[in-house]
Amino acid sequence: MNSNMKNIIFLIFLIFLSVDTYGQRSSTDKMPNYKIKAGDTLDISVYGEPDLNKTVKVSEDGKISYPFIGDIKIVDLTISEAAAKIEELLKDGYFVNPQVSIFVKEYAKFFVVGSVRQEGRYELKGNLSLIEAISLAGGLIENADPSKVRVVRQSTGQEQEYVLDLDTQGKNFEIEPMDRIIVGKYGKVSILGEVYRPDNYFLKKDAVLFDVLAQAGGPRDNANIGKIVISRKDGKETKEFIVDLNTEGKNFILKVGDAIFIKAYEKVSVLGAVNRAGSYDYKPGLTAVDAIALAGGFTELASRNAVKVIRESKSGRRKTFIVPVGDILNSGDKSRDLLLEEGDTISVSESAF
């Protein structure tokens, strides 16, 4: 074999060697900026030294144990930096020119549970924010409370817990290996009484009375929305609020555990010389003339201008109003009509003539 042929063969060998070495090292550079984390499982090999091919797991304190070196801290190093560090240590009296290759066999894990679409264990590849971690779990479901996401973390043998608002802190809070992310549900309020769907409902952040009642289908026609009763536990005491939906409904902020009760208006009673005596639903704005109409109008013997409206106060005092319904109907002068209140009794006597 002449010298030229030898040179060509040697050149081919060098090319093969460089390609092989590059191929091994390239496996470490798929994520060139990735920094090794506690909990990562690494495959470490040295070219031409099969006895040094080892699978190791990075300990909680960021170290691995490797032949000829012992314990070495590599956490927060890139793959290339860790390989170079091991190469330098192996050169120290053991190997002339070691070629170290590192491959991340299994990344450190974190966990997401609670009100997300896909609970489970996920790989922590690179820097990951809380909001990105929850996205890996499919995002939040409808009843999730993003204002109180818990992250439980093991740090130097002690457990730490963070309670975070996903909207304001989710982009800046970084996940660490073995973190447990717990997404809780909204608390509930109960809605009872005159609504279309009385039930317990999830209470979203800063929810006001008006919006929560909408979840329940809204108040029924006979609901007394001017006196909605809200019971709230405050320690050992129970506080009660009377809320007018029209004036306060969009400003009254509810709290978890609130009990909302909407009672029906007390009916008004129409008695005496009318065609359909009985009790009728009260609505704000109902007048004495309206009540007579609900009762089918007067009978022929009714004393139309001596209609009595009897009203009892909470103290038990009774007031009687005389309403000239006949004259109002004849003249159209509604100014003489009387606005009724819930619980009023309208009495129509018969004429003496």
**Residue whose pair of structure tokens reads 């639903």 in the numeric block:** 281
| Closest to 348 (Cα-Cα) out of 268, 288, 271, 296 | 271
User: Is the residue at 77 inside a domain?
Assistant: yes
Concatenated DSSP letters of 99-146: -EEEEEEE--EEEEEESBSS-EEEE--S--BHHHHHHHTT-B-TTEEE
State how many domains the chain has: 4
User: Is the residue at 338 inside a domain?
Assistant: yes
Same domain, 121 and 153: yes
Same domain, 245 and 290: no
- Judge residue 253's burial from the number of C-beta atoms within 10 Å of its C-beta, 0-12 exposed, 13-18 middle, 19 or more buried: exposed
Helix ranges (DSSP H) in the chain: 3-26, 79-91, 130-136, 166-169, 209-215, 245-248, 288-294, 325-331
Same domain, 102 and 144: no
Same domain, 208 and 196: yes
328/173 Cα distance (integer angstroms): 72
User: Is the residue at 33 inside a domain?
Assistant: yes
- Residue 41 CA, chain-centre distance (Å), reads 35
User: Is the residue at 353 inside a domain?
Assistant: no
Same domain, 19 and 90: yes
| Closest to 343 (Cα-Cα) out of 276, 263, 281 | 281
CATH number at residue 336: 3.10.560.10
Same domain, 114 and 178: yes
User: Is the residue at 254 inside a domain?
Assistant: yes
Same domain, 291 and 322: yes
Structural contact between residues 254 and 241, judged by C-beta atoms closer than 8 angstroms: no
Same domain, 244 and 281: no
50, 80, 106 - which closes a domain: 106
Same domain, 179 and 193: no
262, 289, 318 - which closes a domain: 262
SS3 38: coil
Q: In what order do the strands lie in the sheet with 228-234?
A: 199-202, 188-193, 259-262, 228-234, 237-243
What is the per-residue pLDDT for 117?
A: 96
User: Is the residue at 236 inside a domain?
Assistant: yes
What is the per-residue pLDDT for 65?
A: 94
Same domain, 203 and 245: yes
33/80 Cα distance (integer angstroms): 9
Amino acid at 327: D
Per-residue pLDDT of the chain (353 residues; tens, 9 = 90+): 555 554 444 444 433 443 333 333 334 445 668 899 999 999 999 999 999 999 999 998 899 999 999 999 999 999 999 999 999 999 987 788 899 999 999 999 999 999 999 999 999 988 899 999 999 999 999 889 998 899 999 876 688 999 999 999 999 999 999 999 999 999 899 999 999 999 999 988 789 999 999 999 999 988 999 999 999 988 889 999 999 999 999 999 999 999 999 999 999 999 999 999 999 999 889 999 999 999 999 999 999 999 999 998 877 789 999 999 999 999 999 999 999 999 999 999 998 66
106/191 Cα distance (integer angstroms): 50
User: Is the residue at 297 inside a domain?
Assistant: yes
206, 231, 262 - which closes a domain: 262
Structural contact between residues 349 and 303, judged by C-beta atoms closer than 8 angstroms: yes
Same domain, 245 and 163: no
Same domain, 211 and 235: yes
Phi, psi of 276 (to 5 degrees): -135, 75
Domain of 243 in residue numbering reads as: 188-262
pTM: 0.61
User: Is the residue at 281 inside a domain?
Assistant: yes
